[in-house]
Structure 1
Amino acid sequence: MPYKIRVVIADDHPAIVEGIKQSIAVSTIELMDTARNSTQIIALLDKGIADVLVTDYAMPGGEFGDGLPLFEFILRRYPDIKIVVMTMMDNPGVLRTLIALGVRCIISKSDDASHLIPAIHIASSGGQYFSPTVNAIVQTLDKPPGEDNKDVNLSKRESEVIRLYVSGMKINDIAAQLHRSKQTVSSQKNSAMKKIGVASDADLFKYALEVGLVPSSSPPQD
């Protein structure tokens, strides 16, 4: 019997899952199961049924979180699992940190789904694959991947400020609520943006949505 790569798909949007199923319907890939959040992902990986996990970056609501903390947990708990991350995130700091964690195959959702098949095969063999949009960003990184994995490690106070800011609060209101000076809050916001690698509020909102600092507007899936 020819070797098949066993794959688990994880995304909290059923339509995306169906699209991925169709995109990877080839003889060398065997779809084992699907998951909608991190709780289901871990339950499936515990069964040992997957060689490669194809997963969205942001999937709020699961017991094990999502984004960078989830991937770090998976790679530590299941060292043989390979991960292909799909994302709309185009932030260089986040991509650098993903690569530093050991996620070496990243697909932008803005690129054609045909990149999934080579990404799965290359991930299975321990290689590196970036879709064109991701590759273009990776090429602009000012440091080699893995050299600095602290770009997006915000302090507790910085995360608190960013979470409140993207929820719609103004700097003055945040300062009043947290009992800090306006200057301190502004400084913490600027420090966080520098760590994240964004220069505009629009990019900050995109980052916050992607990593779960602001709730997704998508309805929960039962």
Structure 2
Amino acid sequence: MKALHVVLLDDHQVVLAGMKDYLDQVPGVQVDATFSTSSELINNVRKQKPDVIITDYSMPKDDVYTDGMKLIAYLLRTFPDVKILVLTMISNQMIVSALYDAGVTGVIFKQDNLSEVLSALMAVRANTRYYPPSFKTNMGVDEHETTLRDRINNLSPREYEVLRHFVAGESISQIAEKLNRSAKTVSIQKNAAMRKLNVDNNQELIRYCVENNIFV
């Protein structure tokens, strides 16, 4: 059986090391390289294309290719023959659905068992899409988690993107330029997200997102 060549992208070295160690034990899977920035991965894939890219959704500190939906869309557009699996903490169904609509082969939730990475790769080999088991069934969570999840799930993909950049310390004008939107549109989307999260000001917004690890 031909080996499935995989490259990994995540800004957390522990996640990278754990996933590589796990996949190195799987027959028929070859991890060719691991990367901690989007630029490193893209520069490498331009030279030698793998079969699969497994990438984190939130990849900070890369001003060239950024991250989130913009990075995923770029990978899909630039490397149409490479299957894209997205690794994320996000369980917002609108955002996950937007990823599938964009053309990814699968979304793997970080909170699920590591064996789901293998399940996703098996789907790639079978030329089918992978859907995480906990996508629509989030049972056994406490009231706080339910409230938090419901608030986050109410955010639109665009509102989520704006918040993610804002909490990372970017100004409205910087976000507008990065996302190719007007500053007015970005401000409206941020304010709409604040209402959905039930926070009244920027300080509360940042504290809420950081304390609840929304953008891990």
TM-score by length of 1: 0.66
Label 1:200 to 1:208 Cα distance change in 2 as closer, same or farther (>3 A): farther
Which of the pair has more CA radius of gyration? 1
Structure 1 position 193, deviation (Å) = 6.0
Distance 2:166 2:76 in 1: 31
Secondary structure of 1:132 counterpart: coil
Distance 1:86 1:165 in 2: 20
Contact 2:6 2:52 in 1 (8 A): yes
In structure 2, what residue type is equivalent to 1:205? C
With CA pairs under 8 Å and 6+ residues apart, which has the higher RCO, 1 or 2? Answer: 1
Secondary structure of 2:209 counterpart: helix
1:13 matched to 2:12: yes
Structure 1 position 93, deviation (Å) = 1.9
Distance 1:3 1:20 in 2: 21
Contact 2:93 2:135 in 1 (8 A): no
Q: List runs of 5+ in structure 1 lacking aligned partners.
A: 138-150, 168-179, 211-215, 217-222
1:128 matched to 2:155: no
What pairs with 1:1-222 in structure 2 (closer than 5 Å)? Answer: 2-24=1-23, 25-62=25-62, 63-136=64-137, 151-153=156-158, 159=162, 189-192=190-193, 199-201=197-199, 205=209, 210=215
TM-score by length of 2: 0.68
Secondary structure of 2:157 counterpart: coil
In structure 2, what residue type is equivalent to 1:14? Q
- Aligned-residue identity in percent: 29
CA RMSD of aligned residues (A): 3.5
Distance 2:109 2:125 in 1: 19
Q: List runs of 5+ in structure 2 lacking aligned partners.
A: 139-155, 170-183, 200-204
